[in-house]
Structure formats: C-alpha cells, structure tokens
Amino acid sequence: MDKSDLVQKAKLAEQAERYDDMATAMKSVTEQGGDLSNEDRNLLSVAYKNVVGARRSSWRVISSIEQKSEGNDKKQQMAREYREKIETELQEICHDVLGLLDNFLIANALAPESKVFYLKMKGDYYRYLSEVASGDAKKDTVDNSQKAYQQAFEISKGDMQPTHPIRLGLALNFSVFYYEILNNPDRACSLAKTAFDEAIAELDTLNEDSYKDSTLIMQLLRDNLTRRTEERDRCSTAVIKRKQRAAHVESEPLHRESNSESPRRLGYLKALLPKMNSSGPAYPLASLYVGDLHPDVTEAMLYQKFSPAGPIMSIRVCRDIITRRSLGYAYINFQQPADAECALDTMNYDVLKGRPIRIMWSQRDPGLRKSGVGNIFIKNMDESIDNKALYDTFSAFGNILSCKVVCDEKGSKGYGFVHFETHEAANRAIDTMNGMLLNDRKVFVGHFKSRKEREVEFGTKAMKFTNVYIKNFGEDYGDEKLKGVFSAFGRTLSVRVMKDERGRSRGFGFVNYANHEDAQKAVDEMNGKELNGKVLYVGRAQKRLERQGELKRKFDQIKQDRIQRYQGVNLYVKNLDDSIDDERLRKEFAPYGTITSAKVFCVC
C-alpha cells in the first residue's frame, strides 16, 4: 500500500476510534523513510498517544486494585498478573515508538521544529516507561527521558519562538517530568513559569495559525502552576489548623521531657526573654519551618536530626494531596521555645541527604508574611553567595524571619531577599550594606517593593519618559543614520540600533532625548510615518517588567473574551479515566468559566 493510502487509512481509523489500526498504518508510513509532513507527524503522535494512553490508564486502575487487595492473596495475585500483562503491552508500544524515532524520524528531521517534536516525543515515551519500571531499568529510562527533553529544550531555545506551540508543549511535558518523575516541584514550577512568562512577552508575535494551540498550552502551563501553588497552600493551612487544635488538647510527646532544666536550655531561655514580651512577634517560638528538603526526606529522618535539640511534639512533611510526594518543606513543633531556638541557631543550612536545609521560625500570620514590613531586596550579588552566606551577613542587623537567594537550574540569579522581624532592623541593614562590596561586587540593598508598587512607580516615570523605541526601519539604518532622522526633534543623549551576532541591524533601536517634551514630539510626529519604504512604529520605551505586565493583561482579556463567547455552550468529554467523578470534572474545567452542571456517566 502506498503512502497516501496508508495516511487515508489512518484517518479513517481515527474517525472510527480504532487507534491500534491507526498506529499500524502510521508506522508503515514512517518506515518508508523521509521526513514526515506536519499532518503525518500529528497523525502518528495522536495514534500512539491513544494506544499507550489506554494502557497507562488501565495500569493505574489495576495497580490501585492490587494495592487495595492486600490480605486477599488470590485476588491480589490475579491483579498482579493482569498488571504485568498490561506492563508488557505498554513497554512493547513504547519501544515500538522509540524504535521509529531513533531509526527513522530524528535522523531525517530537517527543520528544528520537527527535531524538537520528535525529541519531545522520545522524552515522553521514556517517561511512560519509567512510570512502570523499577530498579536500574527505571534509572535508565529516567536518564534517557531527561536527556531527550533537555536536547529538545536546547534546540527550541535557539531556533523557535517562545510562543511556538511545540516549544510550549515541550515546556509543559518537561515540567511534568520534573514534578512527577524527579519529584522536583520547584524546578517544575520554575520551568513552567519561565516558559509562560517568555511567551507572554512575545504574545504579539503569534500568528493566527498557531494562536489556538499556543494559548491553550499557555493556559495549561498557568493552570498547572496555580493548582500546585494552591495545593501547597492547602497543605500549609491544614498543618496550621491541626497545630491550633493540638494546642488545646494534651498530646503524648514523641520524646518525654526530663524534669530538670539543663544549663544549655536555661541559657537559651534567657536569650529568648527579650523576644517573648507583649510587643514581640506574633509567631509561635516553638515551631520551625524547614525548607529546601530533598524529596526523600521523611518525618523519621527529621526526628533523628532535630531531636538532639530537645523534645519534639510533632513533625509534618508537607506532601502533594494526590501523589503524596514531598513538597520540599516541613514543620517541626518543639515543646519548648528554647529548643527550637537551639535548633535554628545550630542546624540552619546543615546538609541532609545532600542538600543544605533552610530553617526559619514558622510564620503563621499571613498579614506579616505578605505586608513587606522588614523585607529587603539585595541584587548584584556574586554567584558564590548562597542562603547561608546571605543569612550570616545580614543576621548581625536583627532577627531574620526568612532569607533566600533566588536560584535557577544554573545556580544563583544574583539577587535575594531577607525578611527581618522589625522595620528598624531592615533600615540598619540598608544603611550599612547598600553600596558595600560583597565578594568584590558592589551590591544594592533596598526595601522590598511589591509588584503593585513597582507598577505604580513605573507609571509615574512613564509620564515623563525620555527614551523612545523605534522599530521597522530596515537593515540599512545604523546609529548615525537614525540619529540624523530623530535629532530633528531635540537634543539626543544616545542613539542605538540593535544588532545581531553578525553585526547586522535587527530593525529596531532606541533614541534617548535630553528632555521629555522632545521625546513626546518624536512619538507624535514619527509614529506611523513611512521611512525607507516601511511604516515606522515609534513609542515610549518600556521596561521589560512593564511590557510583560501589559501583554499579560492583554492575554487575560483574550481569555476572558473567549470565556464569555462560549458561555452556555455544552461540552461533551470522552475517554475519561475511571477515577474521574463529577466533582473532579467540575474542578478541571472551572478555570475556564462558570459551570452550570458537570456530570460523568457510567456505562455498566
């Protein structure tokens, strides 16, 4: 059968929802060699996605039944054998796809988007294998999945727009890999947020062909971030409520306290006396927050680590409410404030399972956490400065509630935050440290400003702008030529045409005037004018944060318009997992608009 007939057969099979037949047809198309068209590529992906998806869903259901059958040996054995049968089928399908990718598709891919598509697909199918693998086999599949995702990620960053649906889809799946397979929620959220922010910043580059796919994936990225943040908040709230209840109920401590006070404890009690008056902080001094934990750290490990400081009432590692994976932080309640103080002073940034842990007083008052009082911002830091070094440097100015250097996968991003207990301590730190050299770099230290405050500040400055942004003037305009055109409106301080790595004009640049009036005149008279046969855009130069905020508002408005357009429309959703009920269905679709009814129908 020739290629066109096979493709037609695959389309018929898709309409009939016979995905095994569809996969067989597209496998034959692939084995004929050559690069696939976009349509053929998508048909191949849809076919195998449905084939493997059915097995993954079945595997989860049978695995759950197997776990619930403990104590019933016969039923458990039957479930185990059936699970192993499904595993074999799933593995055969995945290896089938990986063989097509390695032997035909990746090597023959000509365009960067095809290469990224296939490498992402390779990462996906190794990820599916890792879900059912164990031991060395699991390690190999995880490594291969990460390697494929990373290779695709590097190509996409260099050769594809941030708004390209394939690049966005890769970021979505790569973040799922970090979250579900590597148990690294921070990296997962960071990757997803970066992809979303970069796409928002380039939203005006979207073409109509990819608009629907790109905005849908952007919504999924944002929804994943929102859901994971809400899950963490719910976990924290549950811990707080449980501890508040425990404060009124006598409970058996994990470790009984002796009747006599040791000299060490009395010493720490004296140290705490100034902090326990009526004007002191609102947080309980016997409760600690422990962050930056390795995913494998358990309550037992934390008890072993912290119990030498004194008797512990409770330990709680916060976990994902569905997967039960660690969220990377925990709360430890000591019986005595002195013991909590001892642990904070002697164990902060100790290494546990290869990671330095970060200890702070547990701050239950959200008003104090979010008010910004006592919070300072430090930037232009040397990359060698970590959380401990920052804490050690600034603890001289007062009691620190929290301290963190902001990092990505490459390490420190050169800035961080220190939250002091009092505004006075923050002022002392700013007065002393702003402009000082830390590791031979002059740092800026100032009061933390919320996003809203920064936006107001930007808005005030924008009223008196002097920097003008010009684009679409062509490649033959350099600094001097552009200056010749725009100096007619007033004295310029600088003119710069942006160039690529080869020194060629990128078609946009900036002109900075000595005063606002001249800049405004240039915008009024030149915006929309024709220059060099092209229509110019001339406007106020915006800071990146301001531009991203404006584009984000535009994106939110587009989403809101779409929600209103489809209000009252009834959707039919099929191929749901057996675990999905009415409530879960409503929850998944709620972000897209008001739901009047959501119903899952069971076929017996």
The tens digit of pLDDT for each residue in 315-329 reads 889 988 777 888 999
Q: Which of these three, 165, 200, 230, is where a domain ends?
A: 230
When pLDDT is averaged across residues 349-361 and rounded to a whole number, the result is: 89
- Collapsing DSSP to helix, strand or coil, 381 comes out as coil
Residue 540 has pLDDT above 60, yes or no: yes
Count of domains for the chain:
4
Tokens of 195: 């992809």
Residue 143 has pLDDT above 50, yes or no: yes
CATH number at residue 512: 3.30.70.330
In a 10 Å sphere around its CB, with 0-12 CB exposed, 13-18 middle and 19+ buried, how is residue 138 labelled? middle
Residue 516 has pLDDT above 80, yes or no: yes
Under 8 Å between Cβ of 165 and 120 = no
Please report which helix (H) or strand (E) contains residue 336, including its range.
none
Higher pLDDT, 247 or 512: 512
One domain for residues 293 and 424: yes
One domain for residues 490 and 592: no
Under 8 Å between Cβ of 224 and 171 = no
Residue 263 lies in a domain: no
What DSSP letter does each residue of 33-102 carry, written as one string?
-SPPPHHHHHHHHHHHHHHHHHHHHHHHHHHHHHHHTTT-HHHHHHHHHHHHHHHHHHHHHHHHHHHHII
Give every CB contact of residue 268 below 8 A, 6+ residues apart in sequence: 338, 339, 341, 342
Residue 425 lies in a domain: yes
Across the chain, mean pLDDT equals: 82
**CA-CA distance, 561 to 553, in Å (whole number)?**
12
Residue 262 lies in a domain: no
Q: Percent of the chain having pLDDT more than 70?
A: 83
Residue 95 has pLDDT above 70, yes or no: yes
Under 8 Å between Cβ of 446 and 376 = yes
Residue 50 has pLDDT above 70, yes or no: yes
Higher pLDDT, 603 or 261: 603
Residue 251 has pLDDT above 60, yes or no: no
pLDDT in the model for residue 144: 97
CATH number at residue 125: 1.20.190.20
Q: Indicate the angle between helix axes 544-565 and 208-246, nearest 10 degrees.
A: 100
Higher pLDDT, 232 or 410: 410
Q: Residue 598 belongs to what domain range? A: 572-603
CA nearest to 285, candidates 300, 267, 302, 268: 268
- Collapsing DSSP to helix, strand or coil, 358 comes out as strand
Residue 527 has pLDDT above 80, yes or no: yes
- Collapsing DSSP to helix, strand or coil, 506 comes out as strand
When pLDDT is averaged across residues 156-177 and rounded to a whole number, the result is: 93
Residue 188 lies in a domain: yes
One domain for residues 131 and 192: yes
**pLDDT tens column, 185-224:** 889 888 998 998 888 877 666 666 677 788 778 878 877 7
Higher pLDDT, 375 or 35: 375
Tokens of 332: 């430890």
Least confident residue range of 58-67, 320-329, 450-459, 520-529: 450-459
Residue 21 lies in a domain: yes
One domain for residues 192 and 331: no
One domain for residues 532 and 578: no
**pLDDT tens column, 397-423:** 988 888 889 888 788 899 999 988 888
